[in-house]
């Protein structure tokens, strides 16, 4: 395979595993190093002998496998991280003995593709051992165009994976309330809307706004305003069902997606939310003796029950208009959005 073909193979493998932006360049450099080392050693009379020297200096787990898929050589990192055995206890055993279940099936498919010549570039897979996540690559070794074995190396990417997960959470979470931010909510909302279309199920959305929030901010200051927003968000989240999606839409406005929920059930859920807010007592910070504040909110509902209803912009606009009708009627109420708005 020429250089261009090898690079395409590498990119294909990376894309198929959805590498993170931090993992991709790291593994690309690692694979390039292994490829360069392999090409030099493959041309020697006894490639396995020279690999033993290389293994002692390489970071990460490394294992060499012959054409019969038996382990020829391993380094200390592989022994410690993968199986907690000594090298002499691993040599001569089949590589498959160290993999189980779905992971083993995936590895068998990779090796079959490599040994048959279908794939000549590196293949990648993830392996989890306890709390640790490893990123593994398998590369074939050829001599005179004959398959002579495999080189498998692994790197512990647990910290990278944790950083990636933290970054995903930060990117999707409103930093003040801990709810979904607007972008993340809209992503979830779109997915639920598509699911409701496939399953021919209703879907409802609620938009709610804290009544007289500007007056609270003006009178008590933004610090108290933030405390109110946090308390409101917590009460909203705790009163929703486990499968509902709750987000901060902007300012003091919040939005809730109710999957598989028709009009009557949406009204019940919304009334429960309204009652939980009415019962909420916010303790003001830095007050002695402690001062408290009660708050109320206005709610608007929109329901998608037909194909024509299943447009995100239309649903949100309908719920928003219903919420403002509730607010104009004095607040602390629920309005069902429809062609003719109905106060409940």
pLDDT per residue rounded down to tens, the chain (344 residues): 444 444 433 333 433 344 455 455 555 555 555 555 555 445 545 555 556 666 666 667 888 888 888 888 888 888 877 777 888 888 889 888 887 787 788 888 888 887 776 766 677 777 777 778 877 888 888 878 788 888 888 888 888 888 888 888 888 999 999 999 999 999 999 999 999 999 999 999 999 999 999 999 999 999 999 999 999 999 999 999 999 999 999 999 999 999 999 999 999 999 999 999 999 999 999 888 889 999 999 999 999 987 777 889 999 999 999 999 999 999 999 999 875 455 55
- Preceding peptide of 256 cis, ω within 30°: no
Q: What is the DSSP letter of 264?
A: H
- State the pLDDT at residue 140: 84
Assign residue 252 a region: left if phi > 0, alpha if psi is -120 to 50, beta otherwise?
A: alpha
- State the pLDDT at residue 53: 65
In sequence order, which residues have a C-beta less than 8 Å from that of residue 243 and are 6 or more positions away?
A: 259
Cα separation of 152 and 103, whole Å?
A: 15
- State the pLDDT at residue 9: 39
- State the pLDDT at residue 120: 65
| β pairing state of 297-304 and 334-336 | parallel
- State the pLDDT at residue 49: 57
Cα separation of 256 and 243, whole Å?
A: 11
Instruction: Please state, in angstroms and as integers, the Cα–Cα distance from residue 331 to each residue in 119, 236, 324, following that order.
Output: 66, 17, 9
- State the pLDDT at residue 100: 78
Three-state DSSP at 182 gives helix
- State the pLDDT at residue 245: 98
Cα separation of 249 and 229, whole Å?
A: 12
Structural domains of the chain sorted by starting position, each given as residue range(s) with its CATH number in brackets = 54-162 (3.30.450.20), 173-336 (3.30.70.270)
Let me know: does 228 contact 180? Beta carbons within 8 Å: no
């Amino acid at each position: 395979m020429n250089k261009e073909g090898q690079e395409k193979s590498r990119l294909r493998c990376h894309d198929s595993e959805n590498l993170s932006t931090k993992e991709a360049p790291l593994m690309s450099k690692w694979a390039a190093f292994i490829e360069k080392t392999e090409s030099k050693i493959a041309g020697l009379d006894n490639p396995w002998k020279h690999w033993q020297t290389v293994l002692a200096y390489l970071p990460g787990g490394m294992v060499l496998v012959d054409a019969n898929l038996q382990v020829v050589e391993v380094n200390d990192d592989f022994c410690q991280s993968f199986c907690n055995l000594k090298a002499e206890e691993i040599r001569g055993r089949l590589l498959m003995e160290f993999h189980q279940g779905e992971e083993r099936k995936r590895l068998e498919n990779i090796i079959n593709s490599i040994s048959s010549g279908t794939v000549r570039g590196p293949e990648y897979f993830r392996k989890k051992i306890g709390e640790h996540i490893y990123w593994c690559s398998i590369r074939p070794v050829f001599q005179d165009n004959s398959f002579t074995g495999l080189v498998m190396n692994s790197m512990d990417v647990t910290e990278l994976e944790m950083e990636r997960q933290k970054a995903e959470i930060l990117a999707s979470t409103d930093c003040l309330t801990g709810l979904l931010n607007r972008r993340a909510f809209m992503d979830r909302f779109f997915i639920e809307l598509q699911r409701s279309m496939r399953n021919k199920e209703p879907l409802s959305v609620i938009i709610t706004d804290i009544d007289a929030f500007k007056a609270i901010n003006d009178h008590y200051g933004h610090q108290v305003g933030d405390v109110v927003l946090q308390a409101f968000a917590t009460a909203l989240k705790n009163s929703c069902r486990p499968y509902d999606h709750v987000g901060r839409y902007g300012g003091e406005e919040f939005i809730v997606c109710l999957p598989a929920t028709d009009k009557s059930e949406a009204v019940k859920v919304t009334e429960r939310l309204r009652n939980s807010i009415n019962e909420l007592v916010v303790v003001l910070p830095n007050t002695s003796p402690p001062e408290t504040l009660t708050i109320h909110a206005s709610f608007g509902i929109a329901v998608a029950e037909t194909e024509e209803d299943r447009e995100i912009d239309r649903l949100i606009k309908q719920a928003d208009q219903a919420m403002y009708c509730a607010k104009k009627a004095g607040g602390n109420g629920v309005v069902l959005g429809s062609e003719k708005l109905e106060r409940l």
